[in-house]
Amino acid sequence: MSSVLEVFNLKKYYLVRTGLFGRSAQVHAVDDVSFRVEAGETLSIVGESGCGKSTVGRTILRLVEPTAGEIYLDGWRVDTVPIQGMRRLRKKLQVVYQDPFSSLNPRLSVRDIVAEPLENFGMGQSRSEIDDQVADLLDKVRLPRDAMKRLSHEFSGGQRQRIGIARALAPKPDIIICDEAVSALDVSVKAQIVNLFTDLQQELGLALLFISHDLAIVEHLTHRVAVMYLGQIIEIGDRRTMFSAPKHPYTQALLSSIPIADPKAKRNRLVLNGEVPSPINPPSGCRFRTRCPQAFDRCAVEMPKLAQLRVDGHQVACHLHEGQSD
Ligand SMILES: Nc1ncnc2c1ncn2[C@@H]1O[C@H](COP(=O)(O)OP(=O)(O)OP(=O)(O)O)[C@@H](O)[C@H]1O
Ligand SMILES: [Mg+2]
Cα 55 to middle of ligand 1, angstroms? 6
At residue 49, the pLDDT reads 92
At residue 326, the pLDDT reads 47
Q: Which of 12, 53, 213 to mutate to test the pocket of ligand 1 (most atoms within 8 A of CB)?
A: 53
Q: For residue 45, is pLDDT > 90?
A: yes
What is the pLDDT confidence band of residue 87, given thresholds at 50, 70 and 90?
confident
The per-residue DSSP string of 170-238 comes to TT--SEEEEESTTTTS-HHHHHHHHHHHHHHHHHH--EEEEE-S-HHHHHHH-SEEEEEETTEEEEEEE
Give the length of the chain.
Answer: 326
For range 46-70, the mean pLDDT: 96
Domain residue limits, the chain: 3-92+173-321
Q: For residue 323, is pLDDT > 80?
A: no
pLDDT digit string, tens, across residues 216-258:
999 999 999 999 999 999 999 999 999 999 999 999 999 987 7
- What is the DSSP code (8-state) at residue 151? B
For range 159-174, the mean pLDDT: 95
Ligand 1 lining (C-beta closer than 6 Å): 14, 16, 27, 29, 47, 49-55, 213, 279
Answer whether 150's CB lies under 8 Å from 160's CB: no
Q: Which of 10, 14, 214 to mutate to test the pocket of ligand 1 (most atoms within 8 A of CB)?
A: 14
pTM of the model: 0.94
pLDDT digit string, tens, across residues 128-141:
999 999 999 999 99
Residue 136 is which amino acid? D
Please give the Cα distance from 23 to 3 (Å, whole number).
Answer: 42
3-92+173-321: CATH topology is Rossmann fold (3.40.50)
